[in-house]
């Protein structure tokens, strides 16, 4: 599914390194008014002696304009090592989190989200209570406070899954800043059953994953051996209501001439079938999602994986450019199709559109970075209003490491920048978090709303297990250093199909870092990227050599082996051997 990136060339060896980091300016709160009522949702993902905590605080009382301060006391020996989206200090067991400078106000019904990494030994028990500006957060609405408070019940116990968070959004039908915050994610029962069919799968089977609408027939549901099972869009929405979910995720994925640079995920619509895309695909989806029955759900659409970046990197004049990509660029099918989808779906008050933005190993070079942002703005404007885009998603169905602690563009080895290594190949980014934050800044700078948020698909980028480096290499050779130090263990950063050695990544988490709305599992772990050999099918999915483990590559992946697992089924079909390996190599470990 992930086309191999077009690499920038002819860069000067002495080029200056410039990386945009995601940490915003943080300041202590000033004079703050008291909170008349509040609710806190506290969740954790933990492993061994470490954990990640995520906190959502909701103001149920009068608006706060002078800054907020949340305090709690650990019941055990927990210590915080790093925080984001708040200034966090700790004295003994007492913790204080204060607002960042850019978010000092907290209106009635408003939420603040922040997170942290921590350590513990023994048990990791949640704090017994939290206080906002000196008021204990009980979840109650005080007498005389503004009307229309959030309706979800309080929660202060830790959880390893977002599915235990409060269920429904405040003011159903009204868009919130972050649709993942304070909301329970929908668990697809079809994926859950597949996960639990593999030994150990029950450890993650309650994790929210996205539902892929990858052909017209998937809208109303299919039967037989379909890769998406038999449930249709309405079936999933009804099930989400039954679960009491607060949000549900769909992948809108059926453009004409889909995935023009790959074969494994080609679709059913031909390059000239834009009218069918509009009337037979987008219109029915919009009609179902717009049903008033579902107004209490936050419906999140991930819009058209791989499409717009292909128009920048895989047309004529680029290594490996294809005729289909030339056609889709010339006829405007991708831009107009996505514009139409954004317009129809963005008009719905409880629907949130996130456009696919590739990943750092695809568009991280200067020659791709800006042009990709520009064509995304073109598609958004084609919808009639850039605000039809709520945000963007990176690393969808890919394997790029979330963080590379030992290999950053600023790292030098023996007097050489790691950007000169064969692996980095002059890319400006080496991990997905840094790239996503920088790409968000770029998108805002060219005309997107300053409130856009980013998602990162962490379903298969954990790279845990025995091969995961625990320290930087001591080699003074830049290639050796990078290969021994990098978290991402792929043979080449352009390899994308059923990668051997990969593991589950960070579990879905709301507001984990500055500018990031959530880490999500959009690609359901265990669903194949493509078949290892040609398998005839009626879904329009071809055979791509990058899915053949014996394929020795091409110029776009440095003539490297594909790194793909053997015996894989067609894209979207269940691949239990891959799922077992993903659990085995999970990071954080299961």
Q: CA nearest 42: which of 510, 507, 515, 454?
A: 510
Q: Which helix (H) or strand (E) holds 70?
A: strand 69-73
- Say whether the peptide bond before residue 588 is cis (omega within 30 degrees of 0): yes
Residue 567 DSSP class: S
DSSP bridge pairs for 103: none
Active site residues: 259, 306, 529
Three-state DSSP state, 240: helix
Phi, psi of 235 (to 5 degrees): -60, -45
End-to-end CA distance of the chain: 27
Q: Which helix (H) or strand (E) holds 206?
A: none
390 is in an annotated binding site: no
Phi, psi of 437 (to 5 degrees): -65, -40
236 is in an annotated binding site: no
Three-state DSSP state, 284: helix
Sign of the dihedral through C-alpha 90, 96, 99, 104: negative
- What is the C-alpha to C-alpha distance for residues 402 and 505, in angstroms, rounded to an integer? 8
CB 524 within 8 A of CB 241: no
Phi, psi of 114 (to 5 degrees): -150, 170
102 is in an annotated binding site: no
47 is in an annotated binding site: no
Three-state DSSP state, 480: helix
CB 484 within 8 A of CB 471: no
Phi, psi of 443 (to 5 degrees): -60, -40
527 is in an annotated binding site: yes
CA distances from 166 to 27, 150, 238 (A): 29, 10, 18
DSSP 127-183: PS-EEETTEE--SPPPTTS-S----SPP--S--SSGGGS--S-SSTTS--S-TTTT-
Residue 123 DSSP class: -
62 is in an annotated binding site: no
CB count, 10 Å around CB of 12?
7
Structure tokens at 551: 């394929």
442 is in an annotated binding site: no
Q: CA nearest 311: which of 253, 371, 366?
A: 371
CB count, 10 Å around CB of 414?
9
Structure tokens at 368: 């791709």
CB 203 within 8 A of CB 196: no
- Say whether the peptide bond before residue 447 is cis (omega within 30 degrees of 0): no
Q: CA nearest 358: which of 345, 343, 342, 369?
A: 369
Q: Which helix (H) or strand (E) holds 510?
A: strand 509-513
Q: Are strands 247-252 and 211-213 parallel, antiparallel or unpaired?
A: parallel
Binding-site members are: 212, 214, 359, 362, 398, 496, 523, 527
Binding-site members for substrate are: 212, 214, 359, 362, 398, 496, 523, 527
């Amino acid at each position: 599914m992930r086309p191999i990136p077009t690499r920038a060339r002819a860069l000067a060896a002495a080029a200056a390194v410039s990386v945009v980091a995601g940490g915003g300016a943080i300041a202590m709160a000033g004079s703050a008014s008291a909170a008349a009522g509040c609710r806190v949702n506290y969740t954790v993902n933990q492993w061994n002696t470490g954990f990640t905590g995520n906190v959502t605080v909701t103001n149920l009382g009068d608006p706060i304009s002078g800054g907020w301060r949340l305090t709690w006391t650990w019941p055990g020996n927990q210590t915080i090592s790093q925080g984001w989206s708040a200034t966090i200090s700790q004295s003994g067991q007492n913790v204080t989190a204060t607002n960042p400078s850019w978010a000092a106000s907290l209106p009635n019904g408003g939420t603040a989200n922040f997170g942290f990494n921590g350590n513990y030994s023994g048990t990791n028990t949640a704090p017994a209570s939290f206080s906002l500006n000196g008021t204990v957060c009980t979840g109650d609405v005080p007498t005389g406070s503004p009307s229309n408070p959030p309706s979800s019940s309080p929660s202060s116990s830790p959880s390893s899954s977002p599915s235990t968070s409060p269920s429904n959004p405040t003011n159903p039908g009204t868009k919130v800043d972050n649709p993942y915050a304070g909301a329970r994610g929908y668990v697809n029962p079809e994926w859950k059953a597949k996960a639990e069919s593999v030994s150990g799968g029950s450890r993650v089977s309650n994790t929210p994953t996205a539902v892929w609408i990858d052909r017209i027939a998937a809208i109303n549901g299919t039967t037989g051996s379909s890769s998406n099972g038999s449930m249709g869009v309405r079936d999933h929405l009804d099930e989400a209501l039954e679960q009491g979910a607060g949000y549900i995720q769909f992948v809108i994925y059926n453009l004409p001439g889909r995935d023009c640079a790959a074969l494994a995920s080609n679709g059913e619509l031909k390059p000239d079938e834009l009218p069918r895309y509009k009337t037979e695909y987008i219109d029915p989806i919009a009609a179902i999602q717009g049903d008033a029955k579902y107004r209490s759900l936050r419906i999140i659409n991930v819009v058209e994986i791989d499409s717009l970046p292909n128009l920048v990197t895989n047309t004529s004049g680029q290594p490996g450019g294809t005729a289909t990509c030339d056609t889709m660029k010339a006829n405007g099918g991708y831009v107009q199709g996505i514009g139409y989808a954004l317009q129809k779906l963005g008009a719905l008050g409880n629907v949130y559109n996130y456009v696919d933005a590739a990943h750092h190993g695809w568009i991280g070079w200067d020659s791709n970075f800006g042009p990709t942002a520009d064509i995304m703005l073109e598609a958004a404007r084609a919808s009639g209003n850039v605000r039809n885009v709520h945000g963007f998603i990176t690393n969808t169905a890919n394997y790029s490491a979330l963080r590379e602690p030992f290999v950053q563009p600023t790292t030098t080895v023996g007097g050489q920048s790691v950007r000169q290594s064969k692996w980095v190949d002059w890319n400006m980014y080496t991990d997905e978090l840094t790239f996503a934050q920088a790409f968000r800044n770029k998108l805002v700078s060219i005309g997107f709303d300053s409130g856009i948020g980013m998602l990162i698909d962490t379903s298969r980028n954990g790279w845990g297990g025995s091969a995961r480096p625990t320290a930087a290499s001591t080699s003074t050779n830049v290639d050796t250093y990078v290969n021994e130090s990098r978290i991402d263990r792929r043979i080449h950063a352009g390899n994308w199909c059923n990668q051997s050695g990969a593991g589950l990544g960070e579990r879905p988490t709301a507001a984990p870092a500055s500018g990031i709305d959530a880490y999500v599992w959009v690609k359901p772990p265990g669903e194949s990227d493509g078949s290892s050999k040609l398998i005839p099918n009626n879904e329009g999915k071809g055979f791509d050599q990058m899915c053949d483990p014996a394929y020795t590559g091409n110029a776009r992946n440095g003539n490297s082996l594909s790194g793909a697992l053997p015996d894989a089924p067609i894209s979207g079909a269940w691949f239990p051997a891959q799922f077992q390996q993903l659990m085995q190599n999970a990071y954080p470990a299961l």
